[in-house]
Structure 1
Amino acid sequence: MQKTKDIIMDYLELPRPIALVLDAAGNIEHLSIEACQLLGYELSEILGANWVSMCLPQRWQLKTKRMYDAVSADYNEEPQCHTYPVLAKNGRQHPLAWHIEQRHSPSGAIVGSISTGIKVRDNALQEKNALLQSAARNQAVLDNAIEAIISINAQGTITHVNKTTEKIFGYPEEELLGQNITFLIPDTEKPLEHYRATLWNYMMPDSNKLIGINRELGAKHKDGHQLPIELTVAEISIAGIRSFTGIMRDISERKLSEARLKQSKEEVQQARDRLAHMDRLHIASEMSTGIAHELNQPLTAISMYAQACRNLVDNGKSDIKSLLSTLLRIDKQAQRAGDIIRNIRALVGKQDPHHQLTNINDLIHSTIELAQVDIECRTITFKCQCSETLPMIEIVSGQIQQVILNLIRNAGDAMVDLKPQEKIISIISEQTCQDFISIIVRDTGVGLDIDQPNEQLFQPFYSTKTHGMGMGLAISHSIVHNHGGKLCANKNYSDGAEFSFTLPVMPILGDH
């Protein structure tokens, strides 16, 4: 019996709810008797007054007005629950927990709000204050974040933004709330409907594969200029209602730095190409005597064969078979001269920077033929040990030919004091592992100084030759590195000098 009495007393002591009806401007259209009693006003005194201005403590007015504005907006159809105090006529404050929802006209238009409030007990108020303090701390964190943080509801409408959003996009909070997220998309970056659909897929993904993944896209500043952003999407589900938070970082500075870095890399590469071209011209100038000699031989032969043809005709002893045989010899010598010129042009001309599938063994043999144009190389015996099972590789063939030619010429210089039968250059090609092939150039010269740092060999302007520029190995090292390989000297080879370099079977495209 006592237990039943206690339950009844607890029920009777429960605070009575109050009812409040506001129009779209926040003015009081109706107030329940309980509300009038709590506030100490007669109904006639308060009807038509602005609820926030008249019945709330000043420090709560701005925040509560924004809350009611949000409730009355098209994008916020869900009922809202808030706690805020009311200010009675006698100056006393009463904390109330409010349930607030939209009012609609028969046509469906929003005409205001209906609020139901109930007094909050002390312990509940303490809990609510703790929640409010926690929310304030969270809001402070959001507002001080360097990223724009934007929340949208299930319809893609912006429901909340932090202060950084205004700094990045230039729009104040009130201009963004209620807008669709596509409001921030530039019209000119892509066809608008396609691009909006793309961003919509980012912010409203049906698949979790896009949640938490960074995406780069363009956005629109209030002043009209476009800015690159990095977007990360987080999904929130409360009571079955989905919403999304987009974290947007302005990456303009990063993109500018990337563009500058790319330009710097291109300028460095252009400088390397010019330097390599100078090296090829230097090689050609050093080989000029041999080139002249090599060209002179087929030209002399052509002249002699032509004179023979004329003599046959002048003596009346010509026949078609003899003339044809002589003309074929002329053609062969002309082709030989043409091959020499083509090889020299390939050496000294500007290199095509594009990678092409190349048979490295064919390139080695053609480079040896080019090297033998030089008088100094004619007394050298070349031994090739080329693996026949090497795969085709993607390289800039002219650049790799320059590397091989530099190594051959260095080897020839190292054997200049040897007898002709002692001058041997061995060139080996092999696949050292699944990912790389190796080209080795050995000579029978004086060898390398074991006390000399390996890195010094590949420094620009370093040379052991009195007439050398000191650029050949440095340029070769750079070319091989840009192809994703490595050029090194083997000081453990005791019968002369050995240089080797590797090339990847698959090109390192990012380095080019």
Structure 2
Amino acid sequence: MELNRAASVVKKVGPWAWWRTWWQRQSPNRQDRFANLAPVAAVVLFLAAIASAFWYLRVEEIEREQEAIKRDVEYAQQRLRLRLLERQEQVMRLARDVSNKEIRPDQFLSRAEAMVQQYPEFMSLTWIDDRRRIIANQSVSSISPSQHLRAGTVLKVSETESHFSLARDLMQPIYGKVDADADKDAQMAVLQLHSPLSNDQGRFSGVILAEYTMEGLLRYGIPTEVLAKYAVALQDGKGHLLAGQTIPGRIALWSLLPGSDKPNNDYEVPVSPVGNDLILRAQAWRTSQGLVGGGLFWLVGVLSVMTAWMLIGNWRHTRRRIQAQKALVAETNFRRAMENSMLTGMRALDLRGRITYVNPAFCQMTGWSESDLVGAVAPFPYWPDQDRELLMTRLEEEISGQHSAGGFQVRVKRKNGQLFDARMYVSPLIDATGKQTGWMTSMTDITEPNRIREQLAGSHERFTIVLEALDASVSVAPLGSEELLFANKLYRLWFGQNTQGHLRLVQQAGASHAADPMDEVDDMVGLPTESLTVATSENAEIFVSELGKWLEVRSRYINWADGRLAQMVIASDITPRRQAEELAAQQAERAQTASRLITMGEMASSVAHELNQPLTAISNYCSGMISRIQAKQVKEEDLLFALDKTARQAQRAGQIILRIRSFVKRSEPNRTLSDVSAMVSESLELAEIEMRRRHVRLSHHVAARLPQLMVDPILIEQVLINLMKNAAESIDNANRSPGQRQVELRIVPKQIDKQSVVEFSVTDTGKGLPPEDIERVYEAFFSTKVEGMGIGLNLCRSIIESHQGRIAAENLYNAGEVTGCRFSFWIPVETTLTTQQPTGVNE
């Protein structure tokens, strides 16, 4: 419908009137856009016309060149074909004479020599029989002796073999190309002609092999006018150069046009009768300058460039003017929008103190309209009555230029009589010529900031009160400075008003985290690897001798109010807690001693029986010696023997008592590098007493070359004796037969979680543990025995864990029946000294 309406309008008023009407209907922006695009369209159309004209002329020239090269190449191909056919006919005539036995080998050599000398394209002529034996050969003298085919030799199997077989099968002349790589002469490619021979019965009797040089065929088979005009080359079917020359990189841009599949300056055709294995290719030499070398081309080019340059310059000038106009409009709109949207009130005064401009924010703040304020003089309507004298003084100072750069605070009255706090800033108002025309005043409502400031002051006061009332010392100091930024009451009570206490706490806390003094560390070892302000707090427990207190020190890096990086240190008094820990450690030590006493109490009858043997022996030896002395029947040797036996038995009793005393006596924990074999031997001496009483056989295995362990040997012996005693009791309670009453102790090295450890295991043949109680046997005061106290195994676990080890128990099964129990624990080889002591007891 709109198109029909436009067409009817064009018919009524004419095209020019319609164009003028359409142009007037467009907006100014659209008219500027169309006017801006017109020069661009003109330049594009002009350049397109010039490019099309030159492209048309170039296409015409290419077509003429292509027709000329095609015609010349086909003529050269015909000449080369005729020469090959002539040489083929001569070779076939020679082959017929050989087949009819009209010539002998010596006559063949003379005729071949004449042909080679007469026709230089021949490289050699060879007579080959049906067994591939060379009868005679005539070659040109220019080839190397190694390439001569000698009479009496057999033709080597190569690519020539296929051509020889094909000529034998078809009984027709066969052409075959031999590449340079296939020949001994790496500089020459050869074309072979196999002409078959037949005997009297018509059977195959050999071939006459004629070899042409590709260079000879090119030189003597191609007309000289073609060779002078083009770069002529002979190629194989794969495009490899056999003879002649080519022009690399002569592919014209015009060949990239649609419909063109090869360069326009060359042409190639197959050479008959050889076929597609031999291609004749010619490339035209460029002898003329073409269109680019003509003066008309350069004249048109210069005029085109000047025209395009002027059109583009005019377009750019128009575009810059339009952009400047748009920027001016945008800047005006932006400033107006900024003034209307900003929350800061703006007021302009002339040099006499009259208001000349106010923005909407100023009107919104005061409640007065622009018409009420513009043109007003002091006193202004928004001045409070009680502050008029002060504000009048301020206005006089403002007009005289005596204003502060930081502004001043005043009270402003709204139209409804409400007052609010405001801060005003004054600056000179300069026009475009650089002359001062008045003063510009900006006003900001600071009622809410004042309220927030008061709240912050109150919050800071409450915060200070809380920090002052803390039972921990809090201090903040910048890094690399001795200034104390903050210190609460407890810090001042402990360390005074300087930073010496803060630095001492940081130094001692860092020393508590330090590694082995033999390790090499750098100066930044105390700093966290991540950003200081996001690093986690560092805790340390130190003893301050001046205060006689244990303090827990926590430090953290913070950004201070002024942007400096500071360190905050919080120190809490943990002296009561440390005293409680020491008391707990003492209680744990007493529990260990009590456990050993209980163990020895349970083994009292066994120990008494063990001591009874040496004491009885001593008594018997003494009685016997007395009797024999009284009867005066004793000899000195017998007396010495009896006294020696008595001393040994007394020594044995003393060793048993000494071992019991060293096991049950109370001593301070002493971790040293201890030998595993020595600890096992000490524990076996006491455990075997209980084993013999219960008729249990004890076997042990200690691996060779075990490393030393950093342990308390008495505690480890206590664990081993407890486990072996429990194993003997389990066997006794299970009423095992004499053959099944045995306990095995094994100590072997192992790797657990990529850590070298020594594993101790005690295996018995008792009735094992109830499955539901395996995880509970280590709990305090839990026991699977009726008379058990429930402290032994808990104490064992505490001792092992204090040495950074682990203890475990498992039942042993045979076809679903429990056949015993295995308790094992391991201790790491490389362990650090620790002050932690076992705090629990269990069995």
Give TM-score, length-normalised by structure 2.
Answer: 0.38
Aligned to 2:681: 365
Give the 3-state SS of the residue equivalent to 2:805 in structure 1.
coil
Aligned to 1:46: none
Aligned to 2:699: 383
**Structure 2 CA distance for aligned equivalents of residues 262 and 197 of structure 1:** 20
Checking the alignment, whether the CA contact within 8 Å between 1:233 and 1:245 is kept in structure 2 is yes
Checking the alignment, whether the CA contact within 8 Å between 1:411 and 1:445 is kept in structure 2 is yes
Aligned to 1:498: 822
Aligned to 1:276: 592
Cα offsets for 1:110-165 (capped at 9, x unmatched): xxxxxxxxxx9656x8699999999999999987598767576997456x65xxx4
CA gap of 1:309–1:269, structure 2 versus 1, over 3 A, is: same
Letter in 2 for 1:362: A
Aligned to 1:184: 498
**Structure 2 CA distance for aligned equivalents of residues 404 and 96 of structure 1:** 91
CA gap of 1:322–1:36, structure 2 versus 1, over 3 A, is: farther
Alignment of 1:304-343 (within 5 A): 304-310=620-626, 313-314=629-630, 321-343=637-659
Letter in 1 for 2:773: P
Checking the alignment, whether the CA contact within 8 Å between 2:811 and 2:820 is kept in structure 1 is no
Aligned to 1:419: 737
Letter in 2 for 1:273: E
Cα offsets for 1:426-458 (capped at 9, x unmatched): 1111122133221111112223333x2322222
CA gap of 1:383–1:265, structure 2 versus 1, over 3 A, is: same
Aligned to 2:408: 85
Aligned to 2:836: 511
Q: 1:365, CA displacement in angstroms?
A: 2.9
Checking the alignment, whether the CA contact within 8 Å between 1:352 and 1:396 is kept in structure 2 is no
**Structure 1 CA distance for aligned equivalents of residues 729 and 550 of structure 2:** 60
- Work out which of the residue numbers 772, 785, 788 in structure 2 matches 1:465: 785
Cα offsets for 1:365-417 (capped at 9, x unmatched): 32222122237545221121221232111222222222222222222122222
Give the 3-state SS of the residue equivalent to 2:758 in structure 1.
strand
Q: 1:284, CA displacement in angstroms?
A: 1.9
Letter in 1 for 2:719: V
Aligned to 1:441: 762
How well do the aligned residues superpose, as a CA RMSD in angstroms?
A: 5.3
Q: 1:306, CA displacement in angstroms?
A: 3.2
Q: Which consecutive unaligned segments of at least 5 residues does structure 2 have?
A: 1-349, 352-393, 411-421, 428-438, 468-473, 511-522, 838-843
**Structure 1 CA distance for aligned equivalents of residues 749 and 450 of structure 2:** 70
**Structure 2 CA distance for aligned equivalents of residues 150 and 431 of structure 1:** 52
Structure showing greater Rg: 2
Checking the alignment, whether the CA contact within 8 Å between 2:766 and 2:821 is kept in structure 1 is yes
Q: 1:86, CA displacement in angstroms?
A: 8.0
CA gap of 1:358–1:290, structure 2 versus 1, over 3 A, is: same
Checking the alignment, whether the CA contact within 8 Å between 2:694 and 2:728 is kept in structure 1 is no
Instruction: Count how many residue pairs are aligned between Structure 1 and Structure 2.
Output: 383
Letter in 1 for 2:745: I
**Structure 2 CA distance for aligned equivalents of residues 488 and 293 of structure 1:** 33
Checking the alignment, whether the CA contact within 8 Å between 1:489 and 1:498 is kept in structure 2 is yes
Give TM-score, length-normalised by structure 1.
Answer: 0.58
Q: Which consecutive unaligned segments of at least 5 residues does structure 1 have?
A: 1-12, 15-34, 42-54, 57-81, 98-119, 172-180
Letter in 2 for 1:328: D
Give the 3-state SS of the residue equivalent to 2:406 in structure 1.
strand
Checking the alignment, whether the CA contact within 8 Å between 1:411 and 1:425 is kept in structure 2 is yes
**Structure 1 CA distance for aligned equivalents of residues 736 and 671 of structure 2:** 39
Aligned to 1:101: none
Q: Which segment is superposed worse, 433-442 or 478-487?
A: 478-487
CA gap of 1:284–1:510, structure 2 versus 1, over 3 A, is: closer
Checking the alignment, whether the CA contact within 8 Å between 2:745 and 2:760 is kept in structure 1 is yes
**Structure 2 CA distance for aligned equivalents of residues 349 and 217 of structure 1:** 33
Identity fraction in percent:
23
Cα offsets for 1:157-197 (capped at 9, x unmatched): 56x65xxx4566569xxxxxxxxx994246xx79xxx9699
- Work out which of the residue numbers 799, 805, 808 in structure 2 matches 1:485: 805
Aligned to 1:393: 709
CA gap of 1:384–1:154, structure 2 versus 1, over 3 A, is: closer
**Structure 1 CA distance for aligned equivalents of residues 541 and 736 of structure 2:** 67
